[in-house]
């Protein structure tokens, strides 16, 4: 795709949390307790239309001119060789001021499965929310531009979503079977942060911030409007909301190598995440997040198998 799409901010999060303009769904029977599987996706129907691929992978970028082209070509080649479904790679450019946008557009002219969207508002969370809500694909995913996670984990990440066994799937660097190369400092911060999530928010997932996640689009359309964070805490907020809403989060142990050129300030990101935890705890305590309504809405999405 050669044209850069200008994607406006499509949500007003405060209104959506209050129920104004929230997505509606047709009524269906609520699932019984203990059901573990939704209906599988009809990937054949999804694949029949060339404009609606089964999988849409978003790569949020901001001033990534050194990494982008190599990562796009590597990911594209892997998808062609290893994923038996139609796909799209969406480069979500977050107001880059270097050559990132030009590189993305040039690659998109060569590879028809690549498209580029340009966002003026900052934040990885905002980029993912906007790109995912604008996508018509039934499976949505994202990964960081460094491709730090071994792409061999992509198939296991997608399979439980397509089969109906899970609603979200995440890569985890902190599970048995994962192999991780990063500094002791980053390992300590990551494990400490996830410990706090378990202790303070009752989370059960093992790794909130691994940049390797996927979600069924029918689930995303219902849960994303209830997320507020526009930056790095978006991942945590999404996962905590998913668990509190009764969704099933599948974890895939991954091989992960820290990128040498990563621009993430680990300490500042961790502090912002702690502030996000405090805000999310208050929102649950004050019932700003309508969990009962969200659970009921999600129960009507693709009724589980009997």
Q: Could you please report the per-residue DSSP string of the chain?
A: --SPEE------HHHHHTTTT-------PPPPTT---BPPP-HHHHHHSTTS-SEEEEEEESS-TTTHHHHHHHHHHHHHHH--S-EEEEEEEES--SSHHHHHHHHHHH-TTEEEEEE-S--HHHHHHHHHHH---SEEEEE-TT--B-GGGHHHHHHHHHHTS-SEEEEESSSTT-EEE--HHHHHHHHHHHHHHHHHH----S-S--SEEEEEHHHHHHHGGG----STTHHHHHHHHHHHTT--EEEEE-EEE--TT----HHHHHHHHHHHHHHHHHHHHTT-S-HHHHHHHHHTSSPBP-
Asked if residue 124 lies in contact with residue 60, where contact means CB atoms within 8 angstroms, the answer is yes
Among 57, 50, 105, smallest CA distance to 83 is for 57
First CA to last CA distance, the chain? 41
Exactly one of 235, 255, 273, 297 is catalytic; name it: 235
Q: Is 207 a catalytic residue?
A: no
Residue numbers annotated as active site: 235
């Amino acid at each position: 795709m050669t044209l850069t799409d200008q994607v406006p901010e499509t949500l007003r999060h405060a209104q959506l949390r209050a129920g104004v303009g929230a997505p509606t769904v047709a009524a269906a029977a609520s699932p019984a307790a203990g059901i573990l599987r939704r209906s599988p996706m009809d990937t054949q129907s999804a694949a029949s239309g060339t404009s609606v691929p089964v999988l849409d992978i978003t790569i949020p970028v901001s001033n990534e001119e050194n990494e982008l082209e190599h990562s796009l070509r590597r990911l594209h080649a892997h998808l062609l060789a290893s994923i038996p479904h139609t796909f799209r790679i969406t480069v979500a450019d977050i107001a880059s001021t270097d050559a990132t946008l030009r590189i993305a557009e040039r690659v998109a002219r060569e590879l028809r499965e690549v498209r580029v969207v340009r966002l003026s508002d900052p934040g990885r969370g905002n980029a993912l929310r906007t790109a995912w809500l604008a996508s018509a694909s039934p499976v949505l995913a994202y990964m960081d531009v460094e491709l730090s996670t071994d792409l061999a984990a992509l198939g296991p990440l997608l399979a439980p979503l397509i089969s109906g066994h899970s609603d979200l799937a995440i890569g985890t660097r902190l599970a048995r079977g994962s192999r991780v190369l990063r500094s002791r400092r980053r390992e300590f911060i990551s494990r400490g942060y996830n410990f706090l999530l378990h202790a303070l928010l009752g989370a059960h997932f093992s790794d909130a911030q691994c940049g390797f996640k996927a979600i069924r689009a029918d689930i995303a359309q219902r849960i994303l409007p209830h997320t507020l964070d526009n930056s790095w805490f978006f991942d945590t907020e999404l996962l905590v909301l998913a668990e509190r809403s009764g969704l099933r989060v599948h974890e895939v142990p991954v091989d992960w190598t820290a990128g040498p050129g990563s621009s993430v300030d680990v300490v500042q990101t961790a502090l912002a995440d702690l502030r996000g935890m405090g805000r999310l705890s208050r929102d649950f305590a004050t019932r700003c997040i309508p969990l009962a309504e969200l659970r009921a809405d999600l129960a009507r999405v693709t009724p589980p198998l009997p």
